[in-house]
Chains A and B, each alone.
Chain A
Amino acid sequence: MTSVAVLDYGVGNLFSMSNALRRAGLEVKVTGDPEEIGSADAIVLPGVGNFGPASVKLLPFAEPIRRALEEDVPMLGSCLGMQLLFERSEESPEVGLGLLKGWVRRFQGEFKVPHMGWNTIEAARESPLLEGIPDGEYFYFVHSYYPEPAEGDVTLALTDYGGGFTSIVESGPLYGTQFHPEKSGRAGAMLLSNFAGIVRGRRG
């Protein structure tokens, strides 16, 4: 069975993500051991909370993740796990994984922060991750910061909250969603099932 390593680096709740990935047909290995990344068919980086402490806890995983991506192992970051793919955040001075170029910015404006609840996505281009998911589909968001990729072509979908922001990224085998697919009902289940399909496809 195709296995996915769900990284347990002490940030947030792994219950729902593991549950949802199992429903998508993947064998889930929750692991806090960076060495175990090497044997997985895919990597999932969940996460809620603050960028600074999370990026410090993630440090031991940085090299194994880089090596896996070089071997084209698919990886999905969600929420804070997506933000940590970038270089820097306005939330704290610590650096992220830097797998994608750009900053994570704080929402500013005459609207409620955090951006919390169900909001829609618009695809910027086609991708196997979004197969069967039409524009205008709702996903569940909870965040006060959003990624601003320095290279626009990694943006796979946009969401409008006081202006458009990047809500899904794709760069080679690397994917990130600012929303929580594991909490996004049928649409989220479809996205995770597409991710599982990508993982199985690569594995042959």
Chain B
Amino acid sequence: MLAKRIIPCLDVKEGRVVKGTHFLDLRDAGDPVELAKLYNRDGADELVFLDITASPEGRGTLSRLVRSVATELDIPFTVGGGIRTQEDVRDVLRNGADKTSLNTAAVEHPELITEISDVFGAQCTVVAIDARRRFEEREDRITVQTPQGPCWFEVYTYGGRKATGMDALEWAARAEELGAGELLVTSMDRDGTKRGFDNLLYGAMSRIVGVPVVASGGAGEPRHFLEAFTEGKADAALAASVFHYGNYPVPVVKEYLRSQGVEVRK
């Protein structure tokens, strides 16, 4: 049986790993190469590297740093942030990435998803979606009931700076149709809060799409990962600060999941 995946995420700014809350108030979390080594050794199932300065400031991804990180890994490696063209994808793959994640560029040019998927394969084409709850009822949006009332999920681009008005659930389905092989979905409401994943978002998404969904945003303790898999029906759960600051290392989270009957890689 397929194991559930635990994925540490390196948000990289100016060569350092940083972590914020609700995408703001960034603080330093260490050296990307050192953290990559640690997670590889600790039994992480994959690693995600997001160049979070790339999109807003229009810079390319940091090829050399990507290469240094990739050299340390013998697990799958996804690189995102500022990827806008086929050439950008080729560059990160040449430097050791296995998958690339598209976010802002995919929203602005959805045909890019198909292009990348056709050239490099769906297995390499991750669409990252940053979503935030909007508490209003609209007939033209997929609405979810929450304890705080009905809401839909709005897509944000440019590292959470720009609201698009798009429905994240509809966008997820469309991204799959266009050729995405996986969706990395971050809840901006939960990002950095350690309150747990937004499982209403992932649960709704799992009913709509057929490709694997990676839940991201809000992990604070091992129980949250369990909930992402049971309530959120996610295929993988991604986290940053809970791993970076050593609160719950990857082996501790995996041991807990195993004790709860979740299949994870040893």
| A interface residues, Cβ below 8 angstroms from B | 13, 15-16, 19-20, 23, 48-50, 112-120, 138, 140, 142-143, 160-161, 180, 182-186, 188-189
Contact = CB atoms under 8 A, between A and B. Distances in A.
Interface in B207-243: 210-212, 235-236
A50 B5 CA distance: 26
Cβ-closest 5 pairs across A and B: A138-B265, A118-B3, A142-B123, A15-B96, A118-B265
Contacts of B3: 117-119, 138
5 contacts: A15-B94, A16-B96, A112-B210, A112-B212, A183-B76
A183 B98 contact: yes
Contacts of B181: 114, 116
Given A117-B3, A119-B2, A13 B71 contact: no
Interface in B175-226: 181-182, 210-212
B73 to A, nearest CB: 8
A53 to B, nearest CB: 11
B169 interface: no
Given A13-B97, A116-B182, A117-B45, 17 more contacts: A13-B94, A13-B96, A16-B70, A16-B73, A16-B74, A16-B96, A19-B70, A23-B74, A48-B121, A112-B210, A112-B212, A115-B2, A116-B123, A118-B265, A140-B76, A185-B43, A185-B74
B124 to A, nearest CB: 7
A114 B70 contact: no
Interface of B: 1-3, 5, 40, 43, 45, 70-71, 73-77, 93-98, 120-124, 181-182, 210-212, 235-236, 265-266
A33 B3 CA distance: 39
Contacts of B120: 49
Contacts of A116: 2, 123, 181-182, 212
Contacts of A182: 74
B2 A161 contact: yes
B236 to A, nearest CB: 7
Contact of A117 (B5, B94, B97, B210): B5
B95 A15 contact: yes
B74 A189 contact: yes
A66 B48 CA distance: 40
Contact of B266 (A114, A138, A161, A188): A138
A49 B120 CA distance: 7
Given A13-B98, A15-B94, A48-B123, A118 B74 contact: no
A33 to B, nearest CB: 20
B179 to A, nearest CB: 12
A19 B75 contact: no
Contacts of B73: 16
A142 B125 CA distance: 12
Contacts of B77: 16
Contact of B121 (A49, A180, A183): A49
Contacts of B45: 117-118
B150 to A, nearest CB: 29
B1 A112 contact: no
Contacts of B96: 13, 15-16, 19
Contacts of A13: 93-94, 96-98
Nearest to A160: B1
A199 B203 CA distance: 49
Contacts of A186: 74
Nearest to A11: B121
Nearest to A19: B71
Contacts of B76: 140, 142, 180, 183
Contacts of B210: 112-113
B2 A48 contact: no
A48 B1 CA distance: 22
Given A114-B181, A117-B235, A184 B74 contact: yes
A21 B3 CA distance: 26
B235 A140 contact: no
Nearest to A120: B1
A160 B239 CA distance: 29
B8 to A, nearest CB: 14
A140 B210 CA distance: 20
